[in-house]
Amino acid sequence: MRFLATLLFFSLLSLFVAHAMASVKLPFGLGELPTMAPERLRRRAEAARKRLERIDTPLTRSPSAMMSLARAFGEVAGGGCDPNVCFALDGSRTINSTNFQLQKDFVKLVAGVISLDEQSQFAALQYGLRSDVISDLTLDAEDFLLKVDGAKKVGYRRTFVAFGIFGCIQQLLKTPFEANHIVLLGDGDDDILVRHSGFNAESVAKRFLFSPHNAISAVAVGFSDTSHLERIVGNPNRVFEVDEWAEVVDVTAELVEDVCGLDAVEF
């Protein structure tokens, strides 16, 4: 399968129009990305590539998954990634242990790609009946990945998405005048708090999105209806749907493009 993915990648890469004197290695042995990148960027790309390849997960074992990661890597290599990112993981009991691990793996892969840009900071938490910090906002990508890897599912009895968004807002208050992005992950459950209390996912998100520097994306796994998520993020194009957690890596490129504010790399 990896051979087929490599072959596919090279056939697509041949369509890349680039006049380059150097290159950036792509992860998982998928070749090189032609670029005019300075030596400093190539060193960062090499460090990010190694971080990705140390992530041992079934999510990277299909050709489509590796292609999505390679495309995302190329996006950040070509355009950078300005926002600070907070990941809100679903830690409720509706997520079994296997899927919680896949959720963590996905966060590590996305952060690993974005870490190619050393300006980005990362935070993560899990939400349910409350929110629990996994990693405070940090520039240290290695430390962030270790903390996400070591996180244990709380298994909350109820799921309040508002707590996930609010917890991320608290992390991103440390960078109020910078581009800040929340990535919300979930499986469709949201025990909406009393709407008139002003503390529900939509109202909390609306206050965060009042700043033009801020944005929210959502990864919806197994949702039958994403309209609630679309109202939370304020833009239906910022909701990325998959049927199950095992497929979540397939939206990596689109999510990274959205978070980083980049145009897609066309292969």
Query: Per the structure block, which two tokens stand in for 211?
Result: 């700043």
CB neighbourhood size of 133 (10 A): 15
Phi, psi of 210 (to 5 degrees): -60, -35
pLDDT of residue 106: 97
Q: What's the pTM value of the predicted model, to 2 decimals? A: 0.85
CA atoms within 13 A on the CB side of 111: 33
**For helices 141-149 and 39-53, angle between their N-to-C axes, nearest 10 degrees:** 10
pLDDT tens sequence for the chain (267 residues):
555 554 444 343 333 323 333 566 666 665 665 554 567 777 888 888 888 889 999 999 888 888 888 899 888 888 889 899 999 999 999 899 999 999 999 999 999 999 988 888 999 999 998 999 999 999 999 999 999 999 999 999 888 899 999 999 999 999 988 999 999 999 876 665 545 456 789 999 999 999 999 999 999 999 888 898 999 999 999 999 999 999 999 999 999 999 998 543 333
Residue-wise burial string across 1-22, b where 16 or more C-beta atoms lie within 10 A, e elsewhere: eeeebbebbeeebeeeeeeeee
pLDDT of residue 21: 36
Find residue 92's DSSP bridge partners. Answer: 156
Sequence spans of domains, the chain: 81-260
CATH topology of domain 81-260: Rossmann fold (3.40.50)
pLDDT digits (tens, 9 = 90+) for 178-202: 999 999 999 876 665 545 456 789 9
pLDDT of residue 233: 95
Query: Per the structure block, which two tokens stand in for 58?
Result: 């079934």
Q: Which of 83, 149, 168, 85 is nearest to 122 (CA)?
A: 85
- Strand bridging mode 32-35 / 84-90: unpaired
Gyration radius (Cα) of the chain, Å: 18
Phi, psi of 46 (to 5 degrees): -65, -40
Q: Taking a C-beta distance cutoff of 8 angstroms, is the pair 86, 123 a contact?
A: yes
